[in-house]
Amino acid sequence: MKRILLLTGVLLILSSACAPRATIQSQPALVEDTLYFGLDKPQGSVSDAEWNQFLSEEVTPRFPDGLTVWDAKGQWKEPNGKISKEPTKVLLLVHPDSLAEDKAIQTIIELYKKNFDQESVMKVRTAADVSF
């Protein structure tokens, strides 16, 4: 009988130690969108002043909580086989996964394409596991 009680006690301890712990998560699921903006346009290049104005007037108001931008060098293979290279701005946004945020990102992409005569802006989305 003592063995059964001891075994039952051990099993209870192990099961409580292995049981998933309830966590309180008050923030919504987050995603990371990385946008790649080519800087070449038919009439030259997007200038630093033009980029900074676009960032401050179109991007920051839609994502005021924060963002990261860095310079990059992009390249891709054209249909004719030629390798094209272009200076690029990369914009990283971490935000709640919502329709409103998706719409804001799509608006940014469309405005950039229109304002700077671009064919496309590449967007890469991943789930974000964020901590501070």
pLDDT tens-place values along the chain, 132 residues long: 444 434 334 334 444 455 454 444 556 799 999 999 999 999 899 999 999 999 999 999 999 999 999 999 999 898 999 999 999 999 999 999 999 999 999 999 999 999 999 999 999 999 998 888
> Does residue 11 form part of some domain?
no
Which pLDDT belongs to residue 10?
39
> Does residue 51 form part of some domain?
yes
> Does residue 10 form part of some domain?
no
Which pLDDT belongs to residue 74?
94
Which pLDDT belongs to residue 25?
52
Which pLDDT belongs to residue 36?
98
> Does residue 1 form part of some domain?
no
Say which CATH number the domain at 65 has.
Answer: 3.30.70.120
> Does residue 19 form part of some domain?
no
Which pLDDT belongs to residue 103?
98
> Does residue 74 form part of some domain?
yes
Structurally, how many domains does the chain consist of?
1
Which pLDDT belongs to residue 116?
97
Structural domain range at position 118: 26-128
> Does residue 119 form part of some domain?
yes
> Does residue 13 form part of some domain?
no
* Cα gap 58→106, rounded to integer Å: 12
